[in-house]
Amino acid sequence: MRKIIHCDCDCFYAAVEMRDNPALSDVPIAIGGSVERRGVVATCNYPAREFGIHSAMPMAQALKRCPHLIVIRGDMAKYKGVARQVFAIYRDVTELIEPLSLDEAFLDVTNVTLCNGSATRMAEAIRQRVKQEVGITVSAGVAPNKFLAKIASDWRKPDGLFVITPNDIDRFVQQLSVKKIHGVGPRTAEKLAGLGIYTGADLRARPLTELVEQFGRFGQRLFELSHGRDERPVKTHRERKSVSTEQTYPHDLPTLQACREALPTLIADLEQRYARLDPSPGVRGVMVKVKFNDFTQTTVEHADPAPDLAQFETLLNVGWARGARPVRLLGVGYRLAEDTTAQQLTLF
């Protein structure tokens, strides 16, 4: 059985700003774009969250909820430097690290002998070192698999540690709200509630065939997670599946034609991002994302190994027709081909 630690820095960007300016520690702050450029909240500290502010919220809405909110543009180069310090501490424990973002990672410590092999003591040692050497806090979850470790790290945030032992799995999962399961968004939660499913115990009470019939392949995943099963290993190398770019406009694009005129600039930026990939993977499809001025959004995709402007325009036409209203954000992207490199095996 594996020993997995999930480490998650608490309100990472905001934590770095509060570390560098302690006067910000007890006042609401948000990191993100300006109202004038229709920016959104990248993250915020806990005093700001008391006002209902959260990541991805439009900054204008955040300021309505908290007029004295301090908005900081942010410094990505600084945040990346801090992340490197944090990950260096992780690497002192294990090389089996799967980064999920700048501030979040899975660590496989199954065969690590530090702390007499205790994953709980390793997690606490990591948290103490990050606090002392970097000056921010990390919440950690310890469990026999990635699914449970990620849930555990959020259980006692901020600056918390929660452990799910093998003997705890059955009891913990049965009482777990399905809303805590990764992949269960508002719509899926609503559908589950319509079926009378609110907890892991409710999921267990349903046969696998019913869950697959209702949710397709995700039904199989729900069935496995309701029993606390997750066999995914910690992957030290993650295969990129897409590359994309998007733009929020200072003023809504009022018509389909205005959206079409904005496409070439977006596509040029996308091609530059794609060109920086090394090695360059193949392209297996294209996508266009449209967010309307009422914040509804849609994404249109099509398999095409040789995309051009006309293909993007066709997808834009389809996406725009789904809302047929002014557009605040456009995005374009490539779906990337999987690595099909094969290795010839010996006969014996």
Going by the annotation, the residues of the binding site for Mg(2+) are 8, 103
Which two structure tokens, joined as six digits, stand for 232? 């995914």
Annotated binding site: 8, 103
Long-range contacts of 206-211 (CB under 8 A, 24+ apart): none
**Nearest 5 degrees, angle CA 39-CA 42-CA 43?**
135
Q: Give strand pairing partners of 9.
A: 138
**Nearest 5 degrees, angle CA 317-CA 322-CA 323?**
105
Do 30 and 41 form a contact (C-beta atoms < 8 A)? Answer: yes
Q: Is residue 224 annotated as a catalytic residue, yes or no?
A: no
Give the separation between CA 147 and CA 160, rounded to whole angstroms. Answer: 18
Q: Per the residue annotation, which of 104, 224, 246, 313 is the catalytic one?
A: 104
SS (H, E, C) 308-320: CHHHHHHHHHHHH
Q: Got the DSSP string for 117-167?
A: G-HHHHHHHHHHHIIIIISS-EEEEEESSHHHHHHHHTTT-SS-EEE--GG
Do 11 and 46 form a contact (C-beta atoms < 8 A)? Answer: yes
Q: Give strand pairing partners of 135.
A: none
With b for 16 or more beta-carbon neighbours within 10 A and e for fewer, the 131-151 pattern comes to eeebebbbbbbbbbbbbbbbb
For the chain, counts of helices (H) and of strands (E): 13, 12
**C-alpha distances out from residue 106 to 5, 60, 172, 205, 238, Å:** 6, 34, 20, 31, 12
Which two structure tokens, joined as six digits, stand for 91? 């690497």
Give the separation between CA 244 and CA 286, rounded to whole angstroms. Answer: 10
Which residues belong to the active site? 104
